[in-house]
Amino acid sequence: MAAQSSAITVEGLKKYYGATKAVDGISFDVRQGEVFGMLGPNGAGKSTTIEIVEGLRDADAGSVAVLGLRQPREAQAIKSRIGIQLQTTSLYPRLSVTEILDLFHRFYPNRKTIPTETLIRMVDLDEKKSTRSKQLSGGQKQRLSVALALVNDPDIVFLDEPTTGMDPQARRQLWDVMLDLKRQGKTILLTTHYMEEAEQICDRVAIVDHGHIIEIGAPSELVHRHFSEIAISFQAPDAAETYQSLAGVSHAVSEDGQVTVYTTDAPRTMTALLARESADGAALRGLNVHSATLEDVFLKLTGRALRD
């Protein structure tokens, strides 16, 4: 029963590099047709996890099933049914977009593939189809690498930080591609350290830190679980505790001179803050009032900001 609805089942996954526990007991489940995001800072263990699930790395402990097949024993069978986009993909630099896609079609002799022309249209590379891959911009390369992950019309698409290093426009373009895949009912496992990406694309998100999953759920659910509050952030040198006792404040954190207080009663907290300001003569620099986001959830759970 679970095997039918689960696209991916991961249990008790561990991967140590010497003393570094890259992945330290990760378990999760991705349902068919779901877009599942792993969110966390660099080095949290997201990429290691996704690569073990893809079959590119061996785990030290734990079990992985993909489409009901066991990793790594049935890796070869799994590979023909999944599509992989790697964090850094460089390809034959002197082959054109079309040539590379055509070549990849040959790697799936026993599977119905998506025609090169269609793939190129899907990732919006029509104008660049005869361009050699080394002459593509970073964003275009990433889109080609997503197209390569789709050649075999995969049952599951793995995207490892697909938009890292892209400019905002290129990022939105790729989000459109991902949303398109989502509409087609593809299962997607995505890693990212962009909050917005997780919020916009993912059905469910696992927040990963230090090799552990510290929270898992739909983005809005996670926010509600942790915050009924409004977040007020501003620049101040004081420690978070200074603000803990202010009226309405349930929780306060500080990071790099940026203090965020979470309040159940924003008007009273603001009044208290403004009173403090006039008493100390300290200006409330960079004041920002917003509802809590995944970013706030992450900050609350780890005490660190997710942004680099």
Partner 1 sequence: MSTVLSLYVANLKEFVRDRAAIFWTLAFPIVFIVLFGGIFSAGGSPSYNVGLVNQDNGPVGAGLADVFQHKVKPFKVTTSDYDHAIADLKKGTLDFVIVLPTGLSQTVESHHTAQVQFYSDPSKNQTTSQIQLTIVQQVLAVYNQQATQTVPPLALATNSINTHVVRTIDYLMPGILAMSLMQLGLFGTATPLVSLREEGVLRRLGATPLPRWQLLVGQVMLRLTIAIAQAALIIGISMAAFHVQIQGSMLALAGLVVVGAITFIAMGYLIASLARTVESASGISSAINFPMMFLSGIFFPLALLPAFLAPVVRALPLTYLADAIRQVSIGSVPDFPMWVDLAVLGGWAIVCISLAARFFKWD
Does position 119 bind partner 1 by CB under 8 A?
no
Does position 165 bind partner 1 by CB under 8 A?
no
Task: Pick out residues in 124-163 that bind partner 1 (CB under 8 A).
Answer: 132, 148
Does position 226 bind partner 1 by CB under 8 A?
no
Q: How far is the CB of 163 from partner 1 (least distance, A)?
A: 18
Total residues interacting with partner 1, rule: CB under 8 A: 25
Q: How far is the CB of 183 from partner 1 (least distance, A)?
A: 25
**137 neighbors 63 (Cβ within 8 angstroms):** no
Nearer to partner 1, 99 or 124 (CB): 99
Nearer to partner 1, 38 or 148 (CB): 148
Does position 15 bind partner 1 by CB under 8 A?
no
Q: How far is the CB of 157 from partner 1 (least distance, A)?
A: 12
Task: Pick out residues in 62-91 that bind partner 1 (CB under 8 A).
Answer: 76, 79-80, 84, 86, 88-91
Does position 175 bind partner 1 by CB under 8 A?
no
Using CB under 8 A, pick the residue from 12, 43, 68, 93 that binds partner 1: 93
Residues of this chain that bind partner 1 (CB under 8 A):
54, 56, 76, 79-80, 84, 86, 88-95, 99, 102-104, 106-109, 132, 148
